[in-house]
Amino acid sequence: MSETRPVRMQHVENKKAPWTAADIPNLQGRTAIVTGASAGLGLETALRLAEHGARVILACRNADKAAAAAETIRRIVPDADLPLVELDLTSLKSVHRAAARLHDDFGQIDLLVNNAGTLSRERTVTEDGFETTFGTNHLGPFAFTGLLLDLLHAAPQARVVTVTSGVPAQKGTWLDLDDLAYERRTYKAYPAYAQSKQANASFAFELQRQLNGTGSRLISVLAHPGAAESDFAQNFGPAVAFLSRPSLRWVFRIVMQTVEMGALPSLRAATDPGVRGGDFYGPTGSTKGYPVPNAAGERTRDPELAAQLWTESERLTGVTYRFDQLDGEAD
């Protein structure tokens, strides 16, 4: 690994009017990948990117659901260019196959939105032996991004947007580098999820540190949606799933926001010309609001912890980031 460098502090928000999807610039000629684009926040993100002219690659585990999502988008954007790529983040074989296909079909990628995620209520493991929540939310995206690094570098001003949760803005430490697979600790769903989300943030900040000084114009940005009304609530158990049904969502409305609002931090991180590497976007409040720069907790921003996690992630996935090949600007 290269020498650890500090992440640039988030810039101060000067704009008075709230940022909305109407602020997305023209994305004609740009190619984006959205993982987990078949529903919820991923579908909304893909829709808005396509609406503003981007070719959007829908990278999803279920091909039928991806095709249905493409049809949903085309009902609003009839001429949308929506290639489908099968991607199962619980499987390194699938990650490698998806990356190989993208290399065959595209010369560059302008935007990668690592949106897909899960929460496993009971401890299970992936086919590669990873704890499922950590494998899906961190190790899969870590490997996928690393395998696409050259395609991202080939674009003039590419971005990697990592979607986390509100966890990194908190002061706690959930990452246990000695027990990432929850083999020693008693498995609890939320702490395991929080560990994976803190890993997302640590990865995003460390990716920017590694990019600093390489000459690449690729940047890494972090975003979190707050508490959005999506199907993801099904993962939190029957009680939350019941209350999150459309007919009862008014119960949570005081602390939750729509999927359209929840996607705005990712969309701003992905498209706002003022975004800089190492920025972190989330809602104005802890769970809802328009997207503004957020700050991560001290432990999440710890470069030593991030470097250790990075080394372990490379070891577990077998994917090594070749920053030494990013020694000049893309054409």
Query: Known catalytic residues?
Result: 193
Angle (nearest 5°) at CA 306 between 194 and 187: 30
Q: Give 184-218 as a 3 state SS string.
A: CCCCCHHHHHHHHHHHHHHHHHHHHHHHCCCCCCC
Where do the DSSP E strands lie in the chain? Answer: 31-35, 55-60, 84-86, 111-114, 159-163, 219-223, 280-283, 291-293
What is the C-alpha separation between 277 and 265, in angstroms, rounded?
15
What is the C-alpha separation between 163 and 175, in angstroms, rounded?
17
Q: Are 168 and 222 in contact, with CB atoms under 8 Å apart? A: yes
Task: Calculate Rg over the CA atoms of the chain.
Answer: 18
Q: Count how many residues are written for the chain.
A: 331
Count CA within 13 A, CB hemisphere, residue 23: 19
